[in-house]
Amino acid sequence: MKILLTGATGYIGKRLLPILVEKGHDVVCCVRDKNRFYCPDELQHKVEIIEVDFLKKESLLQIPDNIDAAYYLIHSMSSSSDNYDELEQISAHHFVERINQTNTKQVIYLTGIVNDNSLSKHLSSRKNVETILGTGTFALTALRAGIIVGSGSASFEIIRDLVIKLPVMITPKWLNTKCQPIAITDVLEFLIKSLLNPLTYNQSFDIGGPDILTYKEMLLGFAKAKNLKRWIFTIPVMTPKLSSYWLYFVTSTSYKLATALVSSMKVEVICKDSGINELLNIHPMSYEEALSRALIKVNEDKVASSWKDSLVSGRFKNNISKFMKVPKKDCFIDRRKMEIINRDYTMERIWSIGGETGWYYGDWLWNIRGFIDKLFGGVGLRRGRTNKHSIHAGDVLDFWRVLYANKEEGKLILFAEMKLPGEAWLEFKIIGNTLYQSATFRPRGILGKLYWYSVLPFHGFIFNGMLRRLIQ
């Protein structure tokens, strides 16, 4: 069968793709930018990649007519746009109009549980999208999930950040709200077993694990899994805005995502009916087991995808293709080079930079810069990196975004996502027996120029030290 996969670079899409290929399907992946889509060599013979922007109606003509089924995994929960709900509806309308012209028999939509009359803006938007998708000539299957627990999921990362960093938590009262978490493994099983299954046509299903827990219980459950003692006290006076700042400063989440999460977490998300479990013969695992599996993946450095690698985790709003060629005109450039002793060793060092490894030299200065960035509403250093030793275009490295990564060529280009009065690139490349390191800054106005000269004294200290450590 030929399956259309939207959101192919997202948290769910990256995990669903190899399963679909393993099941023998040909998969057409919709991406906004081919340069930030990584497809493993073993999957490429069954994968077709097309560039589609669902806000641009004409781009949907790239979608083939001979599609058998489609997954709609497009969400804008943490979009930088305040009218993300309107954008989601436009995308859904364009999708339905194009899919109606194809041979598609079924569309599967992964959405959120909506069992409350007073919905957050985020959940209300997803419900509206489901209504729009339901107007198509195809059969719609809507799978409604609450908190998804898995290595790299936004929920898991936020829970981990809070528990690891705060032995004592003074928290808002919405931590007593109940929810029904579900393991990412079970979500994927529901998505696969619903595919072209007539029993699921033109229906919506709530999917969740067997446990109904408060968010406080979920945090304490994580602490137990890590053998940590944690004390959590809830207070009624913390406003939604203060709650959002609390999540933003303590965890790796963006402020936009924190705001959306706080709004949603005030509403209970509990499955009304679990009939789909028997229908598809699926027995979801407990929250404790989901945590255990996620922690194993993290410890083994086998995180298949992370929400942080999505562009919505930072301030990057454009296709990375537009920034891959580092500019020279009207730019300040700090160039350094040093002869290398062992190419393979140096490449491994470069490919392991950031995250838990750090930046090899002057990490305290990087940490200060990350803290300042957080104070001004930036992403800070807390995003880390998804894997310790592998890098692909589109990945996150602390407050950088990977634009280009080619180990054989010996070249890595990063783009800064911290708050800056301009644009910044950091480039590493090996030519012959020499490692070249360039920091490029394109200032925006007089403030940008002042910024460059204010940080210039630190460049010699940080970049020379980093260059030596990459080689030694």
Give the 3-state secondary structure of residue 90: helix
Assign 273 a pLDDT band (cuts: 50, 70, 90).
Answer: confident
**Spatial distance between the Cα atoms of 303 and 297, rounded to a whole number of angstroms:** 6
**Spatial distance between the Cα atoms of 59 and 259, rounded to a whole number of angstroms:** 31
**Dihedral of the alpha carbons of 190, 191, 197, 203, in degrees to the nearest 10:** 80
User: Do 285 and 350 belong together in one domain?
Assistant: no
User: Do 371 and 297 belong together in one domain?
Assistant: no
**Spatial distance between the Cα atoms of 470 and 435, rounded to a whole number of angstroms:** 9
Residue 328 predicted with pLDDT over 60:
yes
| CATH of residue 218 | 3.40.50.720
User: Do 123 and 246 belong together in one domain?
Assistant: yes
In a domain, 319, yes or no: no
Give the 3-state secondary structure of residue 295: helix
CA–CA–CA angle 404, 438, 419 (5° rounding): 75
Final residue belonging to a domain, choices 262, 281, 308: 308
Answer for the pair 197, 135: CB distance below 8 angstroms, yes or no: no
User: Do 457 and 361 belong together in one domain?
Assistant: yes
**Backbone φ and ψ of 399, nearest 5°:** -100, 25
Q: What is the pLDDT of residue 78?
A: 47
Q: What is the pLDDT of residue 81?
A: 53
More reliable by pLDDT, 243 or 9: 9
**Spatial distance between the Cα atoms of 331 and 334, rounded to a whole number of angstroms:** 10
User: Do 270 and 361 belong together in one domain?
Assistant: no
Residue 349 predicted with pLDDT over 80:
yes
More reliable by pLDDT, 237 or 91: 91
Q: How far is CA 470 from the centre of its chain?
A: 28
User: Do 304 and 361 belong together in one domain?
Assistant: no
In a domain, 62, yes or no: yes
Q: Which two tokens stand for residue 220?
A: 């304490």
pLDDT per residue as tens digits for the range 208-266: 999 999 999 999 999 999 999 999 998 877 676 777 777 788 887 777 777 777 766 77
**Spatial distance between the Cα atoms of 387 and 434, rounded to a whole number of angstroms:** 27
In a domain, 302, yes or no: yes
Of 311, 308, 315, give the one whose Cα is nearest residue 354: 308
Share of the chain above pLDDT 70, in %: 93
**Spatial distance between the Cα atoms of 218 and 159, rounded to a whole number of angstroms:** 8
More reliable by pLDDT, 453 or 267: 453
DSSP 338-407: EE-S-HHHHHHHHHT-STTS--SS-HHHHHHHHHHHHHTT---STT--SSSS---TT-EETTEEEEEEET
Q: What is the pLDDT of residue 39?
A: 83
Final residue belonging to a domain, choices 259, 274, 308: 308
| CATH of residue 345 | 3.30.530.20
Residue 230: Cβ-neighbour burial (10 angstroms; 0-12, 13-18, 19+): middle
Q: What is the mean pLDDT of residues 403-417?
A: 92
In a domain, 239, yes or no: yes
More reliable by pLDDT, 304 or 364: 364
Q: How far apart, in Å, are the Cα atoms of 33 and each of 7, 29, 36, 243, 328?
A: 11, 11, 6, 34, 24
**Spatial distance between the Cα atoms of 345 and 62, rounded to a whole number of angstroms:** 43
In a domain, 320, yes or no: no
Tally of CA atoms within 13 A in the half-sphere of 440 that contains its CB: 20
pLDDT per residue as tens digits for the range 286-323: 999 999 999 999 888 888 888 777 765 555 555 666 67
User: Do 283 and 384 belong together in one domain?
Assistant: no
Tally of CA atoms within 13 A in the half-sphere of 158 that contains its CB: 24
**Spatial distance between the Cα atoms of 301 and 355, rounded to a whole number of angstroms:** 12
User: Do 272 and 144 belong together in one domain?
Assistant: yes
Q: What is the mean pLDDT of residues 344-351?
A: 94
Amino acid symbol at 73 = L
In a domain, 314, yes or no: no
Domain carrying residue 71: 2-308
Residue 79: partners with Cβ closer than 8 Å, 6 or more residues away: 87, 256, 312
Q: What is the pLDDT of residue 199?
A: 95
Amino acid symbol at 287 = Y
β-pairing, 422-431 with 178-179? Answer: unpaired
In a domain, 313, yes or no: no
The DSSP H or E segment spanning 50 is strand 47-51
In a domain, 414, yes or no: yes
Answer for the pair 89, 132: CB distance below 8 angstroms, yes or no: yes
Q: Which two tokens stand for residue 466?
A: 């980093």
Assign 70 a pLDDT band (cuts: 50, 70, 90).
Answer: very high
Longest CA–CA span in the chain (Å) reads: 66
Give the 3-state secondary structure of residue 186: helix
User: Do 259 and 383 belong together in one domain?
Assistant: no
Domain count, the chain: 2
User: Do 301 and 363 belong together in one domain?
Assistant: no
Q: Which two tokens stand for residue 253?
A: 């989440």
Q: What is the mean pLDDT of residues 58-82?
A: 82
User: Do 40 and 101 belong together in one domain?
Assistant: yes
User: Do 302 and 358 belong together in one domain?
Assistant: no
Final residue belonging to a domain, choices 282, 308, 334: 308
